[in-house]
Amino acid sequence: MRDFDQDMSLVDAIFDQLLPSDSKVSRRGLEKYIVENTEKVAVILDGADEFSGKIERSPQGNLVMDVVCNKMMCNSCVVVTTRPHKVDTVSVFSQYSHVRVIGFGERSMLEFIGKFFQVKTFASGKEVHEHVFPKSEFKDKTEALEHDIKDIEAESAGSESNFEGSISKTKTAERKKSVDVFITTIFRSRDLLPMSFVPVILTMLCLLWGEAQKLPTRFTTLYQEMFHYFIQRWYEKSDDCTDSEEFEKGILWRLGEVALKCLFEGRLHFTAGELKSTVIIEQSRSIGFIKEETKRSKLRLVKQYSFFHMSFQEFCAAVYWTSLADVSDVKFMDYLHRVNSDNVESFEYVLLFCCGLSTLAASHILSHLVDICSSDVTDGKHCEFDLFHGCLG
């Protein structure tokens, strides 16, 4: 849906995105078939959260939005997909059944971790919960697991056995206990567990654990370490001689400027021209921060870029935003005043990261949120949003 124009008809969209240029299907023929066979037609509109226009009925009719709004093709099956943070853009239409696709759940996550570290571990979320709960026993069990790891390491180091099988078993047992602690840590964190259901994030958690045998306790620190880990791995493979710390700050700031601009404009994609540096584009792609896509539209073949995950875009945006607070309160507040009761929930993670990165930013943000609530109450509006879930990143 990011490739739709507000005044595009369904037939226009099909020819624009789906049919080859040498297709023998005519526009009139396609339109006639759709009109006469609505019950046989299914329309799948992917990515409503990336649509730049408004989802509303059009006065002239016969547009894609009229299909979404049930003004036309009422007997057809219409499926609209969106990321969770923009579900409100389509949930206003009561005629739709609302379905949340879970997909990658606890069992998949545990299977993924087991394959990543090549060990057998917990088979289900129930097993994990039985292992780590109740809360009062969690600390003791975690310490016991960590103690077991140290014992195995000591035995392995002091052993004079030359049997490869015995050594292999020791290493496997050692790795299994380490992975058990890793899983326990994730399940006991209200921040890490939800993020672990995103495969790309879970991969990074596995990489960090394999590197340091520990995970950050703060949400913001986790992303800082992820960013640093990406940079260091890239440096080990590249011939770049620049100062790594300065390079890290520079690339994060440049990406963050574009990331914040796109978020306020409701976009997840940007062009090379917006970043204003082909070098940064290539370095960011090589490191793995961003990915390149070509718009499917045959009308405008354009290369565009997006972050490998939206939460990483939000982190980069927060780094840039908080840096403005150190330079100029005016610039920082210019962005903050654009956050209101209508869009505040879509900025949840950006604001969370800002609070975790800077106490000054946190002070401004919390004051602004109080002002939003106060203003809504004064205007007679119902004010209810639960940002941060009790955590400031």
Strand partners of residue 43: 78
Answer left, alpha or beta for residue 388, where phi above 0 means left and psi between -120 and 50 means alpha: left
> What amino acid occupies position 373?
C
pLDDT in tens, 313-337: 999 999 999 999 887 778 899 999 9
Per the structure block, which two tokens stand in for 360?
């000054």
pLDDT in tens, 379-388: 556 555 555 4
The set of long-range contacts for 276-283, using a CB threshold of 8 Å and a minimum separation of 24, is 280/251, 280/254, 280/255, 281/305, 283/234, 283/251
How many DSSP H helices and E strands does the chain contain?
18, 5
- Rounded to two decimals, the pTM is 0.72
- Per-residue confidence (pLDDT) for residue 164, from 0 to 100: 44
- Per-residue confidence (pLDDT) for residue 372, from 0 to 100: 86
Strand partners of residue 45: 80
The residue among 237, 239, 240, 277 whose CA lies nearest residue 257 is 277
Average pLDDT over all residues of the chain: 80
- Per-residue confidence (pLDDT) for residue 156, from 0 to 100: 45
State the DSSP code for 98.
P
Of 43-47, 75-79, 82-86, 355-359, least confident by mean pLDDT is 82-86
pLDDT in tens, 258-309: 999 999 988 888 888 898 888 889 989 988 899 987 765 555 567 889 998 8
166: pLDDT strictly greater than 50: no
Read off the pLDDT of each residue in 136-154 and give the average, rounded to a whole number: 54
Residue bearing the bigger pLDDT, 299 or 392: 299
